[in-house]
Chain A
């Protein structure tokens, strides 16, 4: 049963923030603002904002193209230009969009980058992506190599390496591009603001431990992480947004309400799930509907940790500005080892009292996907909860087979239902 609701204020607030950002981007060149392209995992937003540059996230452009049904055309354009059908569709969507004039989600042309800030965190493809963009834009690249947490810990050596790169390469390049000197106090202010927003985000995500959960931590979660994972971390606007969001979620919690879906509030939670892997963006609503039609609520997800893992206690620390940025980059989800990822999902299943978990295996994303079949077996064994495995893609509509995905999910939900009946 669903209760119709009016749009929540946080939704409108976020929409306005994004629209403002893209308007600023459209005017960036005429206003003499510098533009830096960078990636979501390991993003150094506070550092960029300390230099007053405008960030552009190619993955976000790609996913928005996917949601607006434009990605298929862009991917085709890139493939006609010689890119293999086998490789990451985020890259091809971005290249295709560039080849088609680089028109952003608001219909305005995106400015060319003054710098490519290659935060090489948890995804090998990022490196190739910016090598490709460098060819096109002929602009400098600041490479930040973030070592992989293969043994499940951040060592002093890793942290030192990242800090040294910030000091000797990233910051000098930002100074060179902007003509501004590095103001560590400004960075500290931004980091303090980030920490406040991170507190509220964690509060929102952990609200899903309640039954019924007041949020969907995957389909709703991707909206909740938006400001903090992109251009707004460190801004007062982001801190205000998360305070507002937290208040809304707390209000739903008090009323015992379920999560907001596109068709209203889901009042009668039936299945509680953990989801591993990014969502499909080309059929996002359709995909979500497959869950809420069955009254399945995602109570925790790993995708909402790609731009930062905060629920294990990490907060940006203004007292240690560069070290904290290094630790943030090193801690992003796709920079974690497979055993650490398994541990996280097992913990989510247990702490959020999930009935099971779903792995959405993404054709494009080797960083996420390679090894998920082994993870599936390991998590099932450790939690004694059943897992479902579905395959889609990020933004290539050719790899979303609605009937196959629905069939698999329906069978899975039937199985969960029978299990619940036996246990009742």
Chain B
């Protein structure tokens, strides 16, 4: 497929709130199950090994009028759970055989309970990850959580995943993560070849496609992007952070680009990159997933930074490693984790002499002009004065 076609196809998947691709997958895979998951992280390998299609549920963006979802949440709760409820209550998620709610924040946590109250007949699991990273303590707890998930998937499908199937899934996801990393590296190196608005859509396709198909999409996109004749312009290179859960609308990402920013790194859809690409596929697969989780020390707001590690160090490192000139703090309104982190991360940037700007959004933000002006001014400042 040509570049435009690939991106157009990914955009179609992004816009398809009816989850048509998931429905088609289930038709083609008799007896196959599909289970949704929310940000930030779930071990998709376990679902895949059991023959379950993991489906990332990231809300409805700006495409859906929220009515029933608003009736579930007060005005000061972020937007993502509203649209997830709207999707659920309108039947758009009926194709899913269950939902997993990771321990991202209090709202996602409570959403797991709301889901159980609203959809008592469907499988719903709160997926607790440890905040203690010692193998014998947090690791042992997490291993038990992983085994519970294995059992759940076995019950859901009637076919508990075998160790060899888990190892195979780990290999497939390692390959997918390797390709995602390649995409990020190419974008950081030559951002004019990989606009963030395109890479976002290509990555977003990984929320609904089987991992094998998504890896193929990534390969094709990478080949086409490398070969594309696209001119470099004098944009400011920025890292976008704070968007690890509720996603900005694609129009917001395009707005940043139109305002003169090359997004060379971001924290969108961390599930695609969590664990790195080196999960051991040779021996005990659950032990390998546990070890990879404990050993992966990237920062995000839902993960505790233990004593001895400097808060914000990873962000500064990402700025340096990706040759960024500034940081755009883009957090969803009412997102406690991202907004409570922000002053600490800004301080880390200040100490490292890194320019930054900040705004809030929601997944259905429509008023983009103020963001365009703010991002444009930020990009101009970087370009005109180097260190603003």
Q: Does A291 contact B (CB under 8 A)?
A: no
Q: How large is the interface on B (under 10, 10 to 19, 20 to 34, 35 or more residues)?
A: 35 or more
Contacts of B335 in A (CB 8 A): 86
Contacts of B377 in A (CB 8 A): none
Shortest distance from the beta carbon of B143 to any chain A beta carbon, whole Å: 10
Q: Does A257 contact B (CB under 8 A)?
A: no
Shortest distance from the beta carbon of B339 to any chain A beta carbon, whole Å: 4
In the bound complex, what is the Cα–Cα distance between A132 and B347 (angstroms)? 11
A128 and B337 contact, Cβ closer than 8 Å, known pairs A145-B131, A366-B110, A371-B110: yes
The 10 A-B pairs with the shortest beta carbon distances in the complex, nearest first, are A338-B113, A150-B126, A128-B340, A161-B141, A145-B131, A84-B339, A370-B110, A366-B106, A371-B110, A367-B106
Contacts of B144 in A (CB 8 A): 157
Which of B71, B130, B144, B343 has most chain A Cβ within 10 Å?
B343
Write out, one digit per residue, whether chain A residues 70-107 have a CB within 8 A of any chain B CB (1) or not (0): 00000000000111101110010000000000000000
| Contacting pair B107 A366 (CB below 8 A) | yes
Write out, one digit per residue, whether chain B residues 94-129 have a CB within 8 A of any chain A CB (1) or not (0): 000000000101110111111011100000011010
For B148, the closest partner residue in chain A by CB is A157
A81, A125, A129: the one within 8 Å of B106 (CB): A125
Shortest distance from the beta carbon of B144 to any chain A beta carbon, whole Å: 4
Q: Does A7 contact B (CB under 8 A)?
A: no
B71, B76, B137, B307: the one within 8 Å of A363 (CB): B76
Contacts of A161 in B (CB 8 A): 130, 132, 137-138, 140-141
B111, B114, B136: the one within 8 Å of A164 (CB): B136
Contacts of B305 in A (CB 8 A): 131
A339 and B117 contact, Cβ closer than 8 Å, known pairs A84-B342, A127-B304: yes
Chain A contact residues, CB within 8 Å of chain B: 81-84, 86-88, 91, 120, 123-125, 127-129, 131-132, 134-135, 140-141, 143, 145, 147-148, 150-151, 157-158, 160-161, 164-165, 168-169, 337-339, 341-342, 361, 363, 366-367, 369-375, 378, 391
A86 and B106 contact, Cβ closer than 8 Å, known pairs A169-B137, A370-B81, A370-B111: no
Give the dominant DSSP class at B's interface: helix
In the bound complex, what is the Cα–Cα distance between A392 and B74 (angstroms)? 11
| Contacting pair B130 A373 (CB below 8 A) | no
Give the dominant DSSP class at A's interface: helix
Chain B contact residues, CB within 8 Å of chain A: 71-74, 76-77, 81, 103, 105-107, 109-114, 116-118, 125-126, 128, 130-132, 134, 136-138, 140-141, 144-145, 301-302, 304-307, 311, 331, 333-337, 339-344, 346-347, 360
B76, B105, B128: the one within 8 Å of A147 (CB): B128
Shortest distance from the beta carbon of B300 to any chain A beta carbon, whole Å: 12
Shortest distance from the beta carbon of A408 to any chain B beta carbon, whole Å: 14
Contacts of B110 in A (CB 8 A): 338, 366-367, 370-371
| Contacting pair A164 B109 (CB below 8 A) | no
In the bound complex, what is the Cα–Cα distance between A86 and B134 (angstroms)? 34
Contacts of B304 in A (CB 8 A): 120, 127, 131, 143, 145
| Contacting pair A141 B105 (CB below 8 A) | no
A81, A88, A338, A375: the one within 8 Å of B336 (CB): A88
| Contacting pair B72 A371 (CB below 8 A) | yes
For A161, the closest partner residue in chain B by CB is B141
